[in-house]
Every structure is written in C-alpha cells, then in structure tokens.
Structure 1
Amino acid sequence: MIGSWQGRQGARRGGGGADDGRRAIIDIGSNTVRLVIYGGSPRAPIILFNEKVAAQLGLGVTRNGSLADENIAMAMRALARFRLILDDWGVRDVEAVATAAVREAANRDRFLAEAGQIGIAARVLSGREEADLSAWGVAGAFPGADGIVADLGGGSLELVRLAADGPHAGLSLPLGTLRLAALKKRDAANYRAALATQLKKAEVAKAADLYLVGGTWRAMAVHAHAAAGRPRADPHGLTMTGAEARHFAAALAKAPVQRLSQEPRITAMRAASLPDAAVLLQVLLKRLEPQRLIFSSWGLREGVLYAALPPAIQAQDPLLAGTIAFGKQHGVTPVFAARVAGWTARATRAATSDQARLRQAAVTLALAAMQVEPNLRVQHAVNWALYKRWVAITEAERAMIAATICGNGATGDLPPAVLDRAPRDDLERGYAWGLAIRLWRRLGGGSTQSLEATRLVCEEGRLVLQVCAHHAALIGPATEKDLRLLAGRLGVTGGIEVVPDDTFAAPGTASPPQPERSGLTAASSPLLR
C-alpha cells in the first residue's frame, strides 16, 4: 500500500535530506487526478514526471453531492496507471491526498475503498489542512512570504493568512471553478454579487500581498505573459501591482473563451474557467485590497513536501539549493563554484547581499554551460536562466544571471529577451561578472591551480590581474584581450602584475612549489607593469 501520509512524513523527517531521493505526490482533486514525481534537492525539488487526468470528480458533487460513476471510473483508471508507473520507477516515498470533491462526497468511502484495492491509501484533507498545505507551498517558494494565500481548485477556494511562522486561520469556501460555472449558470446577472456575499463570510484580514495558487490562476499568469509578449516565461513568480491586477482581471473577465482556448499553453478546460475566475479575482481584489498580486506554481503538493522537511533544510536558500543540484548534474561542485565566485568578487562586486547570492547562482550556471557544445552553450544557458523553474528569484534577477552567461561567452550585445527584464545597470553588472568568469576560465583552462595562483582586484580605477611568478607563463594574448574587455566594461584601465610566489599563501604556510620560470617579462606583455 502506498500513500500513507503519516508514515511517509516520518520517513522523510528521518531521511537526513539526501538530494538524490525520488518522492511522489498523488493529488486527487476536484478537476484533475495528478501524479508528480520529484527529484533533485529536497529544498528545491524538480519535476521528473507530471501527468494529470481530467476526471472532474467535482462535477457530480456539485450536481447532487456524490461522485458520479463515470468520474470514479476515470479516476481509478488513472490511479491504476499511476501505481504501475511508481512501481516501475521504484518510487517508495509517495503521498496520496484527496481534496474537496472526495472530502464532501456522500460516497467517499466507496471511492477510498476502490483506491485502496489498487494499493493507494489516500488521505482526505480537511479544508483547513488543504489551506495550510497550500500556504506551506508558498512559504517554500517565497522565503519570508507574508500575506494571504488564495488556492483555487475545482471544488473550493482556500484562503489562509501566511506569516513568518507559518499559516494561520485557514478556511475553505465552496467557490471552486466547477462551482463558479454552476453559480453563474443559475443566475448570471447576480453572479458577482453572489461571490461577494460568500467572501463577506470569510474572516480574513487584509494584507499587502495576495498569493494565487492553483491551475486556473497559473493559466491566468500564462495568459498575462503571452499578452506581454513573453509566451515562454515561467508563470511562477509573476507579480502585478494592485492597480495592474484590477485592470488585468477586468479585461480577462470579458475575454471570449474561444480566443483563450487558442493560446498554446492554455487547455480548453482552463480556458473555459478563466473569465469566471477573473470575476472572482475582481471580487477578491476589492475585498482584500492587496498592494501586490503574486502567482505561485508551488502549492499544495509542494507544501506537503516542504512542511515535512527538517527546519535546517527549510532554512536553505531555494535558489542556491536548486542551482547547486543542477550544477552537480553538470559536473560543478558547490565548493568550486563558490571559489570561482570569490575570485571574481574582488573586482566585480555585488551591489547588495541579494546580488551576492545571484552571483553564486550565475557562476554555477555559467560553469555548467561549459559542458554544452560550444555553438549551443550560450543559448542553452540563457534559456536555463530565463525559463527554467527556479524559485525565490524575480524576472530582473533571472535577467542578471542571463547577462552573466552572455558575458562568459563574450557575446557583446544582450538578446532582447534579456534587455527588457531588468535595469541596464544591473545587466551591465551581470555581464561584467560573466567577463570575469571568462577571464579566469581562459587564463588557466578552468583549473583549481589558476584560482590559487592568481588574483583579480580593482582598486583606484585600475583593474589588475596578479599572477604568481611560477604561473606567469599562463599570461598570453587571450588573457590580455579578456582583461581589456572586462576593464573596458567596468570603465577602468587594466594591467597585469607578476608577483612573488608566496604572495597569496596564508600566514604560516609554505609557498606553492615553484616550477621552472617561463622567462616572461614586462617587455613581452603590453599589460604587464
């Protein structure tokens, strides 16, 4: 039997946070039954397999309070397939959860028994548990998040206050997308007023940030990106001001379903629910008056995983955890990436602590890109930066990482997809980080020894590459060219110094072994002084 929630929670808590363990969530919702298999870092899991079946269990519950036979059959067919996939993959850390449709169905016991016969023990979440787990998902994706989480499913809308210490006062309202359609069908003229009446019953305090969780909200974010000319952008983390959100919701509420269904990344089922959900969003915005609207792709499923992590792993930076795991897949260790980032930092400083963590992530991706075929690596790595599902990162920060990758490739110009995402000064800083990585990488072929035998510093308007005498032979035309490129980008002059071999040795330690000198002199390199 798989899917024992309590048992698997205990197993994960004792697992020590290994980053190679696969775990899976079966989410039995009102619209879809979905299997997601996760891998990678526990703090920043990546999706290895994701499949959903539109069983629409909530249709029968909306009509007469019971799950319809045909919907049960479709769900069981999906669960049987999912069970076989999990067995074939060898995934044992599995949780199966059921939400509003099963929770409210008069024949829920029959459904759970049939699932049990397949070998899946589903835990039926209460409305409060569902709200809390969705909020934990947001907390995992947005460290320090403080606001209201609105999780819109097929059968219900969960609202919960999220603070630094976790979720508070979660509640569930019968306003899922299937019920919105039924409510509008009964009385279209008073649809908006009926929603407002329902929300007045919700004792939820106003907050500056409103986080939207659920497939329909994600489809809204996809639509918003497409309308802004960014059809490939990740919907996760899309942020609007309160005024922008009100304008967006008003336009979407009037949008023809047929036109929405023609958008490549929006399914027909989601397209049909978007205008009704936009009206709900209008009512929510009026009721809660948020200053910002933030779309989260992390929700209930990720909340189940995050809530079970030990506090030490929860406290990790999810961007760095994700890029570290990705780097390892491409032969880049976190210690090596940190050393390269430190080498560049003396000359191309980060403006803020947030930019320091971005530099670490950017260096990891830039080094990982070196494993890609040369004529493909820059475009591949820019796509990683702009479109891969990273968390705890803004669009502008994605662009800075992409600019670093371009600098590492010395592309000269930045692509339009990067230019329109961040302030020019930030992009210039990111590009300079990349040029510094390129200088080190080409100086010594990316060796650890070249990190130990060289320093790059920028002081009093001069960028200086210092090279220990026993490694002076590394200096060549390519080094001089790369240093000039970086100095020009920083608006300073550049120079190279050959320094004594023990210059960089820690106090009390012996200087590195000294191979035969190369005979390089100031006369042989115009940048030497």
Structure 2
Amino acid sequence: MDGHDPSETGEWTPFGKPLFDDPKTRALSRVGVVDIGSNSVRLVVFNGAARSPAYFYNEKIMCGLGEGMRETGRLNPEGKERARSALARFKLLAESMELPLLSIVATAAMREAEDGESFRKELEAETGLTIYVIDGEEEARLSAQGVLLGWPGSFGLVCDIGGSSMELAEIQGGEVGKRITSALGPLKFKDLDGGAHARADYVAAEMASLKEHMGSQRDRLFLVGGSWRALARIDMERRGYPLHVLHEYRMDAQAVRDTIAFVQDQDLEQLRSVCGISSSRMALVPYACEVLGPLIDTFRPKDIAISSYGIREGMLYEQMPDDLRQRDPLIEACRFAERKDARLPGFGRALYKFILPLFRDDVADRLRLVKAACLLHDVSWRAHPDYRAEVCFDYATRANLGGLKHSERIFLGLALLHRYRNKREGTRFEGLYDLISAEAQQHAEVLGKALRFGAMLWMVDEDQRQARLEWQSKTKTLRLHLAEHAAPLYGEVTEARFNSLATAVGAVETEVLFT
C-alpha cells in the first residue's frame, strides 16, 4: 500500500479499481458457512462482496458435543440432539435466504469420537446436506486464512483454541506455513485425574511437542476462539479499557499474566456477569488460562492480538479470487459502504484528490486512513443532523471493518466526527480520545475539517479541476484555486469552513484564487 499521488499513475491506490462488478466477486454476495465444533454449532452468512465482509446473519447454539468425550470416547448424547436441531434450523434458514451453497465443516469432536462418523451420516441423511469432517491441520489452515482475511500479508503464529483441540499455524507474508493440532482444548483435559498438577504436566508436555514442530515463533501471536475472546473481555474489564471491540485488541505478555492472576482471584459468576460472558464459556476460561500462560512462555511473541476472524472467515477466504484477497480490507469495505450508502458514490475519490496536498508527507499507513475517511464521509447522511457526528464516530470505531488497529479506529472516528462538528469536546466519546496521541487527535481534526470544507464544493467531475487546494508547509500558506465557473460555490458557509480548516492546519496566510 504505497502513498504516491494517484494523479501520477491514473489509479487511486491502493490496488486500483473496486471489484464489485466482477462476476467472481458478485458470486460471494451471500456465502453461508456452518462450523460444527466441540462447544457450539454456528451459522454465519456473509455479505461477502467486499474484501472485509459484513455479517448478514450470525447464530450460535451451544451444543457441547465434546463434553465428556475424554471418559466415554463418544459424543455427548444431549449435545447430539442439540446439534441435530441446530442443523435442521440452519438448513431452513439457508433455504429462506436462498443461499446458493451452505458449506459445513465439523472439527475435533466429530473427527475424534467413536460415533463421529455415524453421526455425520445421520445428519446428512436427515438434512440432505454435505458435512466435511476436517483434520486438525486443515482446521489450522482455515483458521489462519481467517486471520489473513483481516491482516493480509501478516507474519506470526495463529492459535485457535476450541473445546477439544488447539491448533497452531504459521503465517508469513500472506501464506500459511507450518501447522499442527494438539489436544489442548479445555474439554479434553479439564477433568484429568490428579487435578491442577496433572493438568500442568499435561500442558507442558504438549507445549514441548508443539515447540519441536513449529520452531521459533517470535512474531505476533494471533488468538482465535471463544475462550481467548472471553479472556480479552476480562482483560478489558481489569484495565478499564474503554473501547469494547475485540477484533485487533492488543495485549502483551505481562498483561496476559496479570489477567490470568485476576481470573484466579475473582468470583467467576460475578466476573461472568460483568463481562457479558456466557456460563458455558466462563466455565472453560480458567482452563484456557492454564494453556495460554505456557503458550506465551514457550513461544515468547513480540505482541498478542485478538482475532474475531477464524475458521468461518477462512472458509470465505477460501472462495475469494486471488485479486480480491490481495485488496486492503479496510479500503474495500469503505468503497462498498460508499457505493451502498453515499448520496454521490464516487465523490470520495474526487474528495481524496482535492485534500491530498494537505497530507503528502503522511506515511502510507496514515494515508490509507485519509482514503477511508474520504469514502466514509457521507455514508451517514441519513442520520438526524444533530447526531451525524456521533453516528460517524460510532460507525468508525465499532463497525465490522477489517485491517484497523484500535488507535486507527479512534483516529478515523475523530476525523469523521470533525466532518460534522468543529469541536470534539463535549461528546460522550471523550474517554476514548486518549487512546491516540494529542498529535494524532490534531491530525484527525485537520482531516475532518478538510472533508467538511471539500464537501461544500461537490466536485462531480474530478478531471475538471474546478477546485484545487495548495498547501505550502514552509510558509504555512493555504490557497484555494477555484475555476471561474465554480466561483458561486464559494459562499459564506464555504468561506467559514475554509477559514476553520486554515486554523486547524496552522496556516498563517490564506488566499482564494479564481482562475
């Protein structure tokens, strides 16, 4: 993702034109997947035409198929009935949504139980659906692909914990490398004879085997799975962290150790209630803690990130054409939002070209946020005028947008807030601002006020160059070049917004030229 001037190449970087009209991409407009796991059976329907897909439908039923398997070797009878009911329901939902295909995978419980194969055949006979029971390495691969859906080109170790197994996969530059499965799912070892000491020995032995296979893994650790997400919620509660978005939530090794100690000292039922965690999930959290501590001590990652994307997203990624996989998930999601919701789809590109002189010195990571803001600047126009600024901030900070760190969400939210509001003080979001630096807050204000000003000119045809900004950073001079035929666009409100932008950017001289 480079930051070059798009006028130099005829493209709007990154990655050229949107792909929404490509038939291969339109075929992903509705993709349904079912994951039959050891704890739950879940249906997700993706509205997948964008690189960062929306969740059109998402339903989870806690079945507990793997409960008690260590003792019996068989699937939990009550869990089987719940799973049977869930799959029948999901089939009818898929038919009512007219999904072209429902992809179904079953993982550790079904592949390891004595009666797993017979149960698969029963389900297929009853529903007419095809169920693929995948092995541990394939499960690891799909989970890693789910991470790549949100972090294209990433390097690190993906750890997906389920009820009956835990998978590791290496990702390097957008490719999945070594992978392995283990029996470290909490349902598998929580009832070991010998209690905590036996569990610690069991985990240590498994970790040694994982380390021998995977080798040194000192990049980022991506945590996938409900138990890890529950632990992240608890970490947020312990820290008083204000942005309750799990995807891209970051922790370091010490924070994880502190949270593990915090869990051990708390009343679990009270903690469950405060953090909004289900009873069945909370029951597994202490055992997941017994795995995560040794995992971090074994691989010593540079940092730790929570991924809300996993095996189901990996199944969608599997169906994406390569050219879509290579796109920036943030930019593609914003393009999709503009096309769907903006008053004048395509204006974001013209707006980006117009305000770009203010941001030529930005690094590529910051410049992509400028692009995202241009695309999103008008998607909330239907909101009540008194609340548009708040709606914009909420959208940026809480929407399902891939490829965004929490600090970037706040930056983007502030920029869009300033698109509709001069001052950021006095909002209900002030507790979030400190997640970015004062310099970044000021930069977001400049961006927002540039959007606010540029939107007044409504440049339909960017090639007419009816309006052009010029920023001389050395002399702190801001100039507006406006074509003679467009001079009526520069009215009182436009002038006020130009002056507001000049103040935000620190201009000591302004000039409006009609050419």
TM-score (norm 2): 0.89
> What is the rounded CA distance, in whole Å, between the counterparts of 1:423 and 1:61 in structure 2?
50
In structure 2, how many angstroms separate the alpha carbons of the residues matched to 1:165 and 1:50?
A: 27
- Structure 1 residues 485-494 or 257-266, which shifts more? 257-266
Which residue pairs with 1:368 in the alignment? 379
What SS does the aligned partner of 1:412 have?
Answer: coil
Counting only pairs closer than 5 Å after superposition, residues 471-510 of structure 1 correspond to structure 2 as 471-500=486-515
**1:64-463 maps to which residues of 2 (within 5 A)?**
64-116=72-124, 117-164=126-173, 166-183=175-192, 186-202=194-210, 203-207=213-217, 208-230=219-241, 233-331=244-342, 335-349=346-360, 351-414=362-425, 415-442=429-456, 444=457, 446-448=458-460, 452-459=465-472, 460-463=475-478
Are 1:49 and 2:61 counterparts? no
Q: CA deviation at 1:214?
A: 0.5
- Contact 1:467–1:496 under 8 Å retained in 2: no
Cross-structure match for 2:12? none
Contact 1:472 1:498 in 2 (8 A): no
Amino acid at match of 1:210: L
Aligned amino acid, residue 467 of structure 2:
T
TM-score normalised according to structure 1 size? 0.87
What code does the residue aligned with 2:350 have?
Answer: R
Instruction: Tell me the number of residue pairs that the alignment of Structure 1 and Structure 2 aligns.
Output: 484
**SS of equivalent to 1:370:** coil
CA pair 388-229 structure 1, distance change in 2 beyond 3 A: farther
Please tell me whether the aligned partners of residues 156 and 172 of structure 2 are also in contact (alpha carbons under 8 angstroms). yes
Which range moved further: 326-335 or 209-218?
326-335
Distance 2:184 2:431 in 1: 38
Residues 363 and 498 of structure 1: CA distance in aligned 2, closer, same or farther (over 3 Å) = same
SS at match of 2:152: coil
Higher deviation after alignment, 450-459 or 263-272 = 450-459
Output the CA distance in 2 between the equivalents of 1:29 and 1:60.
Answer: 14
Moved more, 71-80 or 37-46: 37-46
Q: Distance in 2 between matches of 1:391 and 1:405?
A: 18
User: How far apart are the structure 1 equivalents of 2:343 and 2:306?
Assistant: 31
Q: Which digits, 9 at most, give the CA deviation of each residue in 1:381-416, with x for residues without a partner?
A: 101111112111111111111111122113312541
Q: Say whether the 8 Å CA contact 1:250–1:279 is kept in structure 2.
A: no
Counterpart of 1:507 in structure 2 is none
Query: Aligned partners of 1:191, 1:241: CA distance in 2, in Å?
Result: 24
Give the alignment's Cα RMSD to 1 decimal.
2.0
- Unaligned 5+ runs, structure 2: 1-21
Structure scoring higher RCO (CA < 8 A, sep ≥ 6) equals 2
CA distance in 1 between partners of 2:383 and 2:308 (Å): 29
Q: 1:230 to 1:456 in 2, by over 3 A?
A: same
Q: 1: CA distance between counterparts of 2:380 and 2:241?
A: 23
Query: Quick one: structure 1 residues 68 and 275, their matched pair in 2 at CA, closer, same or farther if it must change by over 3 Å?
Result: closer
Give the direction of change, closer, same or farther, for the CA distance of 1:254–1:129 in structure 2 (3 Å limit): farther
Instruction: Decide which moves more: 230-239 or 124-133.
Output: 230-239
* Kept in 2: contact 1:483–1:494 (CA 8 A): no
Runs of 5+ unmatched residues, structure 1:
1-13, 501-529
Aligned mates of 1:418, 1:486 — CA distance in 2? 24
Return the alpha-carbon distance in structure 2 between the equivalents of residues 291 and 254 of structure 1. Answer: 27
Which residue of the other structure, out of 64, 69, 76, is the alignment partner of 1:61? 69
Task: Indicate if the aligned counterparts of 2:237 and 2:275 stay in contact, CA closer than 8 A.
Answer: no
Determine if contact 1:19/1:39 at 8 Å carries over to the other structure: no
Alignment check: 8 A CA contact 2:69 2:188 kept: no
